[in-house]
Structure 1
Amino acid sequence: MNDAAVTPRDEGGAELAVIRIMTLIFAAAAVMFLALSAPSFFEQADYLIPHWQLAAGIAIFGTPLVIAAVAPWSSLRQLRILHGAYAAIFTVTVLSWIPAFINGPMSPEAAPWVVGLTALGTTPAAIAWRPVAAWLFLLASSMVIAPIRIIADGGADVSLAIQFAFFTITVCAAFTAVATVAIAAGREVDAASVAARASSMRAAALTARGEEQAHLDALVHDEVIATIFAAAGAGRSESASTRAQAARTIARLSELSDTSATVPELIHMDYFVQGLASSVAETTDSATFTVIGERYAALPSPIATALIEATVEALRNSVVHAGGEAAPVVREVRFTLRPDGVEITIIDDGKGFDPAAVPANRLGIVVSILGRVNSLPCGRASVWSQPDKGTRVTVGWSE
């Protein structure tokens, strides 16, 4: 089976979160710049054509608020487009100041209010575009300030305009660097998450293959080999129990080969109790079945299947090996339910055995009981027995 391609569920999750936070900070900065620019905004109205101030103010200070309002519902691509669009809107607005300036010159101390807001245009560019494009945009936006200041004061102090342009580069560079580094860090987190998810899926696939192989080994022992042994027994090949076991084996193998068969992910506890009781009764009529406690939560289907199959194998071993020559063997299956898990205990008072003396190639205990259940997440299985003191098999699962 080939490993499926991995697509992150939240593509750009960390990067998207970083950009959304930066969008909110950007909107707050726009409000702060509006408060700082308000005096100049009204004082310089007479130098410009009517209504330009209002249109420019809405474009520069209102657009960030709109972007922040839609950011929680916007994708990574949409936010980049919005920030890129704002960078373009900001540039057009600043450049439009030149034809809008009709009543100059201004005093050298009264710089146009738009030239002090360059960081509002360069920071969104760092969010929207690649670093190289963002830095080039920063340089171009900062250098545009010089001719605007020269036009504003009628060329009274060219050196001051150039100094202000370089100062703007320094200030805006800090904001661009922070935005670039933060976005790159978010992108690295997303890449690491995708790699970790891919590794987890590969590990899960390998685990699933191992569990599937263990289940197949247990099925071969529990059903196929047991049926062959039963049929090979003297005078037993025609018995009703042997025919019933053979029918069950054929049905199980058909289920295994039917790749289209589906199993519910969760098994309701009532159905599990009924299935366990039915399996116990089909395996032997000499075992009592007792349910202790309560549990309302359903069981995962693989857990339920493994516990029932391990119980059946433990009972089958008891029927085959625990019998003595004197009194009949007493068998009991206790099913204990708890809110955090379940436990099944299979007890008999038969002749018992020494677990340490059981060969490793005896699949009944090693694979069908211990291996099958202990391989489950949060599964546990144990076997206790002593010669002439009976056997106790415990299988369980906890959440």
Structure 2
Amino acid sequence: MTIVSTPKRRAWLHAWRLRLIGPTDDSDLARIRRFGARFVGTGLLIFPVALTPLIASESALTDRWWPPVSVLLVTVPAMVVIIATYRRRPTGLTVLATACCAGLLLATLLWFGAWTGAVASEDTTWSVWLVQFPGVPGLLLGLSGHPRLALAYIVIATLVTQTANQLGLDGQIRPELYLGSLLTIALTAVFLAVAVVTVRTAQVLDETRATAIEAAAASSAAAAEDAERTRFATLIHDKVLAILLAIDVGRPSSALAAQASSAVHELDRRGEHPTAGPLDADEFARRIRLAIRSTGVEVDRELSIDPDASRRYPAEVAAALIDAMGEAIRNQARHAGDDASCLVVGDLGDASISLAVVDDGRGFDEADVRPERLGLAIGIRRRMASVPGGSAEVRSTPGHGTTVILRWTDEPTTHAPVAIAVPDGRA
């Protein structure tokens, strides 16, 4: 069975969206850091462009090599930061933030070596263009989780650039002008505080979400355990104790022996749950269609029924397959993207069943799946593993869609998997 590939226009739009916005983050903390670093990096690129007239007008104060070198020391690390935000995992932010801070400080220190001793004209307020935004790179340190280091950098960078600016204006240090530096430090510290609080809030949200999911799982397990304990206690009370109380001296009656045998059989089956009767292929296909409709997701389907299939499928097998399929469809709706399409392909044979849920969405890397994400581990894999002969396989590549293949076989041998072609042409 093959699946028609994604239309070229849709694939083109999806690729450009990934280029402009970047990959999707499951973590609020990663999302905040990604877009915050991108914002600060863009600002560090805009400043030199906006200050080009000042850089050109004060170039006579230094050797000719300093203006272009200072611009490169500020913009190159900023460009690396922006590029890094488009990686699958936004790691290494501390190192990149340190590089941006070191670049601006180094550019300022080089000014002292390149200064010719000349001073700017009297109508000029700034002789060193770096004095306009000395603390901005420190915001990256705040985003990476180092607020104290960020504050220390902001203070040092502001004082160093102010010193260079005073020498370029008057040829000497005027201590009263450092009062303006206090205002610069205070304003930058406000933005730093906003960044730090935002990062910590996102971190708390991530931790709260993980705790809530773990608590929900524990609560569900406890509820299931309580239900099983209640059912077992009822069985003991209604059958075992009743049989024991009915035993009298002498040989037990045949009816009592039959009741005891029935009770023992139910005790052996205490881990099982009663299910409905087996289903034929047509009824199973009908339930698949109903389950797809119940998800509320627009899904195409192709169901193939073996004309020679005469057997009836166990109800627990049908329930596991349908529930796992529904979970896969819901995962697709949540994570594949608004432009993604979904197709369910089914093959109902006499001794095996194969269901495949395929989408052409953004895909994912399983290494990036967070531990508290229960859809794949419990909703699909463990659910299929709970029935004899059941299995689940998940294939996904970032940018090339996802395929979830559910199988059940009534034979001990392993069947060859159904050929499923994902949108990029792999089977």
Whichever of the two has the greater Rg, that structure is 1
Q: Which runs of 5+ in 1 are unaligned?
A: 1-9, 257-262, 264-270, 278-290, 306-399
User: Match of 1:173?
Assistant: 189
Q: 2:150 aligns with which of 131, 134, 137?
A: 134
Tell me which of 151, 159, 163 is aligned to 1:147: 163
Q: Please point out which of 112, 115, 137 is paired with 1:121.
A: 137
Matches within 5 A, 1:295-374: 295-296=287-288, 297=291
Gaps of 5+ in 2: 1-23, 293-313, 321-427
1:22 corresponds, among 13, 31, 36, to: 36
Say if 1:217 and 1:111 are closer, same or farther in 2 by CA, change over 3 A. Answer: same
Change (3 A) 1:293 1:18: closer
* 1:33 CA drift (Å): 1.4
Equivalent residue letter for 2:72: I
Question: Does residue 49 of structure 1 match 2:63?
Answer: yes
The structure whose residues are more often helix, as a share, is 1
Q: Give CA-to-partner distance per residue, 1:41-60, whole Å, 9 cap, x none.
A: 23333433344332321231
Deviations 1:215-251 (A, max 9, x none): 534666899789999x998555899xx8996895586
Decide whether the 8 Å contact of 2:138 with 2:150 is kept in 1: yes
Q: Percent identity?
A: 16
Partners of 1:304 and 1:219 in 2: how far apart?
26
- Cα separation, partners in 2 of 1:65 and 1:222, compared to 1, 3 Å: farther
Residue type of the partner of 1:295? R
Q: Which residue of 2 aligns with 1:69?
A: 83
Tell me: CA distance 1:100–1:156, structure 2 relative to 1, closer, same or farther (3 Å). Answer: closer
Change (3 A) 1:83 1:162: same
Contact 1:147–1:161 under 8 Å retained in 2: no
- Identify the residue that residue 294 of structure 1 maps to in structure 2: 286
User: Does residue 274 in structure 1 map to residue 278 in structure 2?
Assistant: yes
Indicate the residue corresponding to 2:128 in structure 1: 112
Residue deviations 1:261-315 (CA, integer Å, cap 9, x gap):
xx9xxxxxxx96427x9xxxxxxxxxxxxx899312499959969xxxxxxxxxx
Structure 2 CA distance for aligned equivalents of residues 295 and 12 of structure 1: 33
Could you say if the C-alpha distance between residues 162 and 303 of structure 1 is closer, same or farther in structure 2, counting changes exceeding 3 Å? same
Give 1:23 deviation, angstroms.
1.5
User: 1:167, CA displacement in angstroms?
Assistant: 3.2
Q: Does 1:252 align with 2:269?
A: yes
Structure 1 residue 102 corresponds to structure 2 residue 116: yes
1:113 deviates by 0.6
**Matched residue count:** 267
The secondary structure found in structure 2 opposite 1:73 is: coil
How far apart, in 1, do the equivalents of 2:34 and 2:315 lie?
Answer: 39
* Paired letter, 2:41: A
**CA distance in structure 2 between the partners assigned to 1:51 and 1:145 by the alignment:** 18
Q: Distance in 1 between matches of 2:228 and 2:318?
A: 13
What is the rounded CA distance, in whole Å, between the counterparts of 2:285 and 2:156 in structure 1?
A: 76
Report the CA distance shift for 1:130/1:44 in structure 2 as closer, same or farther (over 3 A).
same
Using structure 2 for the length normalisation, give the TM-score.
0.50
Give the whole-Å Cα distance in 2 for the aligned partners of 1:33 and 1:273. Answer: 72
Q: Distance in 2 between matches of 1:39 and 1:292?
A: 74
> Are residues 44 and 74 of structure 1, via their aligned partners in 2, closer, same or farther at CA, if it must alter by over 3 Å?
farther
Q: 1:248 to 1:205 in 2, by over 3 A?
A: closer
Please give the alpha-carbon distance, in whole angstroms, between the structure 1 residues aligned to 2:41 and 2:197. Answer: 20
8 Å contact from structure 1 (residues 125, 137) kept in 2: no
What is residue 182 of structure 1 aligned with on the other side? Answer: 198
* TM, length-normalised to structure 1: 0.53
CA contact (8 A) 2:118 2:168 kept: yes
| Displaced runs of 4 or more, over 4 A | 74-77, 217-229, 231-239, 242-251, 297-305
* AA at the equivalent of 2:146: R
One-letter amino acid of the structure 1 residue matched with residue 269 of structure 2:
R
Give, as a single letter, the amino acid of the residue that structure 2 aligns with 1:127: L
- Matched residue SS, 2:63: coil
Give how far 1:149 is off.
Answer: 1.7
